[in-house]
Chain A
Amino acid sequence: MDILTSFIVIPFLTIAGLVFCKDHKQVKLTAAIGMGIQLILAAVLIILFLRERAAGNMAEMLFVKDLVWFPSLNIHYLIGVDGISVAMIGLTSIVIFAGIFASWEVVELPKEFFIFLILLSSGVFGFFISLDLFTLFLFYEIAVIPMYLLIGIWGTGPREYSAMKLTLMLMGGSALILVGLLGLYFNSNPSGGQLTFSLLAISKVHIPVEIQKFFFPFLFIGFGVLGALFPFHTWSPDGHASAPTAVSMLHAGVLMKLGGYGCFRVAVFLLPEAAHELGWIFIILTTISVIYGAFGAIWQKDLKYINAYSSVSHCGMVLFAILMFNKTAMTGAVLQMISHGIMTALFFALIGMIYGRTHTRYINEMGGLMKVMPFLGVAYVIGGLASLGLPGFSGFVAEMTIFVGAFQNVDAFHRVATIIAVSSIVVTAVYILRVVGILLLGKINNEHYEHLGDAKWYERLSTGVLIFGITAIGMAPLWLSEMINGGLGPIIQRLLMASPIH
């Protein structure tokens, strides 16, 4: 079995193992072991990948495997990875690993909970390795659907409403994606002959500009819904607020990245001319996302809402960077996906842990928690500092790469958009410090909180892994940035060929 397929097989083996588990303890252990193996495997994949590249294997995709699945429609199980997908796989395995430990205290139907959670992650892994558009879409759906059940059954607050809203909006997005994908399929061979879903094959053909312009909005908005593109982001605050901890982590940490990844791997890569011509509309929308999400977060009182709006802002930055169409900005986009993924998972994990103790998520009802739970408090401050882009954490690396990249576009429109996006760093600082000030610092404002305990071992493990992730990237970003950069070659080349200027 090749290494990539095992990223799908291991989750299913874990699920099979979970079915036979007898009690709560076994369930947790099985899930942890399965995802632990997954994490190790991801590390192995990164090492193998870097070694192949160092050995001079400059093929566009590595570890490629091609099996025919539906011969009549020419659907393949075609998988392979470049630097970008490897990085995304690394992100996913870190987040799911931390997510398992963050949901250590799930008591209601734990077996089913973990089964759905791991099923969701298998969809994500499948999505990142797929090079066949149909398979890719299939995995996308596998990742989205368990979300409905996870929120609907294990959620809090108005969970049915939120689950319904989230699923319907994302389904609406996938309907658009499906139209776009079929559009690509039927135009994949302009000279006649066998049509194909293969991403690599389509990237070699030239689709007429008019057709591109028709299908580009379907794909970009369809994936954009998942990437919280303004104004299709409103599922995010409600969905996150109702979702259980690990689901929020996985959803904001990884699922929202499927949107960004899809936007540039499918929409921009395959329809470059349309991207150039229509990019300006989306640059406006994403610039709005960036600044609007940040201002929206200032006024919120619910911790999860704050983080949801902050995600709108940060994910807006991802799409914004993709539309800058140069190597630096796009590297920044992928870095931002990874950085935000880990960071936001950390936030949601911590919010879950704090909620588990205080039973409220309203910041006004809390205060001075640093004193009673120093570990969680410090972790929250670290997450906050990473989020506002402090050097030494991953957020800084990603944002600076995006800003420098975006600034390479000389015209006034791009400049203005960039400067607006850059100014979000101040607004972010405002809402982060506001939360830290109210929630953690000051005096304890409720005597019940005096006796709350600090983090347990599994909570420390969960947050520790994530904190390690953001600091490791933040301290030594070069290898990651070079790995991503290396994967961008074909995409940039295709964009340049399509560019009206060149």
Chain B
Amino acid sequence: MINFGYTVWIVLIPLFLFILIGFFGHKFKPIVSGIIGTSGLFASMAISYFTAYQYFFVLPKVGETFVKVIGFETTWLRFTEKLVIHLGVLLDPISVMMLIVITTVSFMVHLYSIGYMEGEKGYMRFFSFLSLFSFSMLGLVVATNIFQMYIFWELVGVSSYLLIGFYYTKDTAVAASKKAFIVTRFADLGFLIGILLLSFNTGTFDFITLTDPKGAAIAQGSGIMFLGLSTMTWSMIFIFMGGAGKSAMFPLHIWLPDAMEGPTPVSALIHAATMVVAGVYLVARLFPIFHFSAPVALDVVMYVGAFSSIFAAVIACTQFDIKRVLAYSTMSQIGMMMFALGVSGYGEEAGLGFMASMFHLFTHAFFKALLFLGAGAIIHAVHSNYMNEMGGLRKHLPITHITFLIACLAIAGIPPLAGFFSKDEILAASHQKAMWIFILGLIISGLTAFYMFRLYFSIFWGKDQHYHHTPHEAPKVMTIPLMLLSLGAIFAGLLPFSSFVTSDGKPFASHIDMAIAIPAVLVGVIGALTAMVFYRKETNIPEKISGFLGGFYRAAFRKFYIDEIYLFITRKIIFNYVSRPIAWFDRHIVDGSMNGISYVTNEVSGRIKGLQSGQLQTYAWVFVTGAVALALTFIYLWTN
């Protein structure tokens, strides 16, 4: 047996970096923080690769299956005899895969940021927060129990808050960070309630016990019914609510586009490659419970994922801010991962959806991070986020241009790039489940190709705009990560993914089904070609089409007014009709009655005080009236 104790350093190194840079960063030149942070992440990445090698190739399999290994564990807090929070490192195929993804992308982003953030105020702060994020995200994926996951889940939330609000003197950034935190916090409320329900019913937080298909947690069944659904289903739906919040699923997606106010490397790391897929990871982590004990909840995952995916793809076609297009694209791709999980069965071939979802998560991390970093290089060069203020940039930014094109081809699912393989598996899995979801998947693929190439052609082709100064290519420290990531976007799909990551840990051989691959590629190509016709040269076709679609286009452009609905509920209803009346009620009714009591006391004591006046006449008068009253009372009682 191999000792995996060292894996704890993958998580701890970024924590130390955070403390080191956060407390002592200002003592040195800014660049020192950047270099320390980047080299620390490199160390973390190296250990992760070594772990992956040992886990997949050296560790003996038990009955052809990858086993779950606890690398490290310590008790953090004890609630009851059974409900104990451990902090530890759990290694299984999906967590090892996530370690690779997170450390790789995080390293690339660190490297890129050395150049991108140069000259910014708060350079050290930026790197310390990046390390904090990496620490939290790594802690999340290696969680041995659901409560550890929740702890790190909250921590990634706050790192995201801090990084979105990095430019804290900018009001939009502050508002966006607040929105992101509160919306995800609301979702986490569901997650927490789900955890409470689940742990109460199963008596454990531990993932290994919870997800063992033959274990006690699953064997006990779905529990009693409540409002038409079993308790297990309720708890899984609540837990999924947390996942939907983090992964920006409809209707909790509203924070993600605004989160683009953060620096672009942050968008690449947090809001494209790692944190936003935490929801997918959560469902995958608990997949056996979903499958065996709460199939209804798994259907919810499928519907929410599918709807979010098409919804976001439509909006992405109408936006002009390049980062927002990418944000909606991310939401759409995550939706695909979600419904891939939703359509999946359990065990080997039946678990194709599970494998496909993880595969897409893996490849998506590379090409989406690449797209964002490319977008960063473009914004860096032209100082604008809007694609209608760009054009003809391919001459000025050759490296960015090529890498961006690779990423676009990859996400559009053009073979033999990475996206083709993973998307193909998702479509195959949907095909097994139902025809409608397969067709939906095809439509989304077509839309994806269309909006990505709309972006690509608007930025790099068309007419040269009047820029403030001639755009120039980013420095090497930024282009190198682009080139490295584009290698990932090209080759990541060639991995035999199904021999590593499967729903039950047992490898199987997957293959490309031509009946699915050909239409998938075809819609991708059609989407891309349409975009070429529309946007390669300036034409008036897009205006005509948007005019033709009329109200639908305007609704999509305004993101289907979801933000306005939220604003209405929070500002108008919660603030005005809940919070304000409570504040008023408290000051006037509750406090008023307390003051009223003291007023009455005062008055009464004032009157009573008057009685003891020292005046004989008063006393005599009181005495006589009292005596008469008593006498009358007695007489009355007597006669009755």
Q: A433-B182, A437-B178, A442-B171 are in contact. Are A425 and B582 (CB under 8 A)?
A: no
With both beta carbons as reference points, the residue of chain B lying nearest to A300 in the complex is identified as B583
Q: Mark B153-179, 1 if CB is under 8 A from A, else 0.
A: 011001001000100110100110010
B607 at the interface (CB under 8 A from A): no
Question: Could you say which residues of chain A place their CB within 8 Å of the CB of B78?
Answer: 478, 481-482, 485
Q: How far is the CB of B573 from chain A (nearest CB, A)?
A: 12
Interface size class of B (residues with CB under 8 A): 35 or more
List chain B residues, Cβ under 8 A from A418.
196
Contacts of A198 in B (CB 8 A): none
One digit per residue, 1 when the CB lies within 8 angstroms of any chain A CB and 0 when it does not, for chain B 184-213 equals: 011011001100110110000000000000
Quick one: which of A229-287 are within 8 Å of B by CB?
A: 230-235, 237-238
From A298, A425, A440, contact of B192 by CB (8 A) = A425
> Which residues on B sit within 8 Å (CB–CB) of A233?
590
CB of A422 within 8 Å of the partner chain: yes
B83 located at the interface, meaning its Cβ lies under 8 Å from any Cβ of chain A in the complex = yes
Complex contact B77–A397 (CB within 8 A): yes
Do B151 and A391 touch across chains, with their CB atoms under 8 A apart?
A: yes
B158 and A390 form a contact (CB under 8 A): yes
Q: Are B178 and A234 in contact (CB under 8 A)?
A: no
* In the complex, A311 has a CB within 8 A of chain B: no
B613 within 8 Å of A (CB atoms): no
Chain B residue numbers with a CB within 8 Å of A48 are: none
Min CB gap B159→A, angstroms = 11
Task: Tell which of B77, B175, B579 touches A295, judged by Cβ atoms closer than 8 Å.
Answer: B579
Contacts of A425 in B (CB 8 A): 185, 188-189, 192
Q: Are A169 and B174 in contact (CB under 8 A)?
A: no
Q: Contact: A403 with B192, CB < 8 Å?
A: yes
Interchain CB contact under 8 A, B578 and A234: no
Q: Are B169 and A437 in contact (CB under 8 A)?
A: no
Docked complex Cα distance between A233 and B150 (Å): 33
CB of B3 within 8 Å of the partner chain: no
B591 touches A234 (CB 8 A): yes
Contact A426 B77 (CB under 8 A): no
Decide yes or no whether B575 CB sits under 8 A from chain A: yes
With contacts A368-B169, A437-B178, A477-B76 known, is A422 near B192, CB below 8 A? yes
Max count, chain B CB within 10 A of own CB: residue among A296, A401, A423:
A296
B165 contacts A441, C-beta separation under 8 Å:
yes
Interface pick from A54-62, A120-128, A347-355, A404-412:
A404-412
Minimum Cβ distance to chain B for residue A325 (Å): 14
Residue of chain B at shortest CB distance from A232:
B594
A185 at the interface (CB under 8 A from B): no
Report if A234-B586 is in contact (Cβ < 8 Å); known contacts: A433-B178, A442-B169, A478-B77.
Answer: yes
Task: Report whether B77 and A296 are in contact in the complex, using a CB–CB cutoff of 8 Å.
Answer: no
Contact residues in B for A401 (Cβ distance below 8 Å): 77, 79
User: Shortest CB–CB separation between residue B639 and chain A, in angstroms?
Assistant: 38
Indicate if the CB atoms of B200 and A391 lie closer than 8 Å: no
Q: Tell me the nearest residue of chain A to B595, going by C-beta.
A: A165
Contact residues in A for B169 (Cβ distance below 8 Å): 368, 371, 441-443
A299 touches B79 (CB 8 A): no
Residue B181 interfacial (CB < 8 Å)? yes
Tell me if B155 and A299 are in contact (CB < 8 A). Answer: no
Q: Judge whether B594 and A422 touch: CB under 8 Å.
A: no
Binary flags per residue of B588-619, CB closer than 8 Å to A gives 1, else 0: 00110111001000000000000000000000
In the complex, which residue of chain B has the Cβ closest to the Cβ of A433?
B178
The verdict on B220 contacting chain A, using a C-beta distance below 8 Å, is no
Q: Is the CB of B165 within 8 A of A296?
A: no
Contact A298 B196 (CB under 8 A): no
Query: Is B75 an interface position by the 8 A CB rule?
Result: yes
Residues of A within 8 A of B178 (CB): 433-434, 437
Size bracket of the A interface: 35 or more
Report A380 CB to chain B, min CB distance, Å: 13
Whether, in the assembled complex, A396 has its beta carbon less than 8 Å from a beta carbon of chain B, the answer is: yes
Verify B590–A429 contact, CB threshold 8 A: no
Checking A230, A388, A404, A433 against B196 with a beta-carbon cut-off of 8 angstroms, the contacting residue is: A404
Binding site of A, secondary structure by majority: helix, strand, loop or mixed? helix
How many whole Å from B241's CB to the nearest CB in chain A?
Answer: 12
Given contacts A401-B77, A403-B196, A407-B196, contact A296 B579 (CB under 8 A): yes
- Tell me if A296 and B582 are in contact (CB < 8 A): yes
Q: Within 8 Å CB of A379, what residues of B? A: none
B640 at the interface (CB under 8 A from A): no
B163 to chain A, nearest CB (A): 14
A392-404 CB mask vs B (1 if < 8 Å, else 0) is: 1000110011011
Residues of A contacting B579 with CB < 8 Å? Answer: 295-296, 298-299
In the docked arrangement, what's the CA distance between A299 and B594, Å? 21
| Inter-chain contacts of B147 with A (CB < 8 A) | 400
A151 at interface by CB-CB < 8 Å: no
Q: Is the CB of B168 within 8 A of A404?
A: no
Indicate if A462 sits at the interface (CB-CB under 8 A). no
With contact pairs A328-B79, A478-B78 given, residues A299 and B580 touching in the complex (Cβ less than 8 Å): yes
A430 interface contact, C-beta 8 A = yes
Any chain A CB within 8 A of the CB of B80? Answer: yes
Looking across the interface, which residue of chain B has its beta carbon closest to that of A482?
Answer: B78
| A430-448 at interface with B (beta carbon < 8 Å) | 430, 433-434, 437, 440-443
A33 at the interface (CB under 8 A from B): no
Which residues of chain B are near A237, meaning CB under 8 Å? 586
**Residue A370 is within 8 A (CB to CB) of chain B in the complex:** yes
Which residues of chain B from 494 to 543 have a CB within 8 Å of any chain A CB? none
Residues of A within 8 A of B181 (CB): 429, 433
Cβ of A385 within 8 Å of any chain B Cβ, yes or no, is yes
Cβ-defined contact, B174 with A441, below 8 A: yes
Q: Contact between B174 and A405 (Cβ–Cβ < 8 Å)?
A: no
When distances are taken between beta carbons in the complex, the residues of chain B under 8 Å from A371 are: 169
The closest CB in chain A to the CB of B85 belongs to A400
Known contacts: A404-B199, A433-B182, A481-B78. The answer to whether A422 contacts B189 by CB under 8 A is yes
- Which chain A residue has the least Cβ–Cβ distance from B153? A391
Whose C-beta in chain B lies nearest to the C-beta of A169? B594
**Chain B residues near A485 (CB, 8 Å)?**
78
In the complex, what's the smallest C-beta–C-beta distance from A422 to chain B, in angstroms?
6
Bound form: Cα–Cα A392–B75 in Å: 15
Nearest chain A CB to B294's CB is how many angstroms away? Answer: 19
The distance in angstroms between the C-alpha atoms of A391 and B591, with both chains bound, is 35
Residues in chain B near residue A12, CB distance under 8 A: none
- Neighbouring A residues of B154 by C-beta, 8 Å: 389-391, 396
Considering the complex, which residues of chain A in the window 281-309 have a beta carbon less than 8 Å from any beta carbon of chain B?
A: 292, 295-296, 298-300, 309
Chain B residues with CB under 8 Å of A19's CB are none
CB contact list, B556-585 vs A, under 8 A: 575, 578-580, 582-583
Within B55-112, which residues are at the interface with A (CB < 8 Å)? Answer: 75-80, 83
List 18 interface pairs A-B (beta carbons < 8 Å), by A numbering.
A168-B598, A234-B591, A234-B594, A235-B594, A296-B583, A298-B575, A309-B586, A385-B158, A389-B154, A390-B158, A400-B79, A400-B147, A403-B192, A429-B181, A434-B178, A441-B168, A441-B169, A477-B76
Instruction: Given contact pairs A165-B595, A295-B582, A433-B182, enumerate 18 new A-B contacts (beta carbons under 8 Å).
Output: A165-B594, A233-B590, A235-B594, A296-B582, A296-B586, A298-B579, A390-B155, A397-B77, A400-B147, A401-B77, A403-B196, A408-B80, A423-B189, A426-B182, A426-B186, A433-B161, A441-B169, A477-B76
Q: List the 7 closest A-B pairs by CB distance, nearest first.
A: A299-B583, A234-B591, A391-B151, A298-B579, A441-B168, A407-B196, A441-B174
List residues of B whose CB falls within 8 A of some A CB. 75-80, 83, 147, 150-152, 154-155, 158, 161, 165, 168-169, 171, 174-175, 178, 181-182, 185-186, 188-189, 192-193, 196-197, 199-200, 575, 578-580, 582-583, 586, 590-591, 593-595, 598
**Interface residue ranges, A against B (CB under 8 Å):** 165, 168-169, 230-235, 237-238, 292, 295-296, 298-300, 309, 327-328, 368, 370-371, 385, 388-392, 396-397, 400-401, 403-405, 407-408, 418-419, 422-423, 425-426, 429-430, 433-434, 437, 440-443, 476-478, 481-482, 485
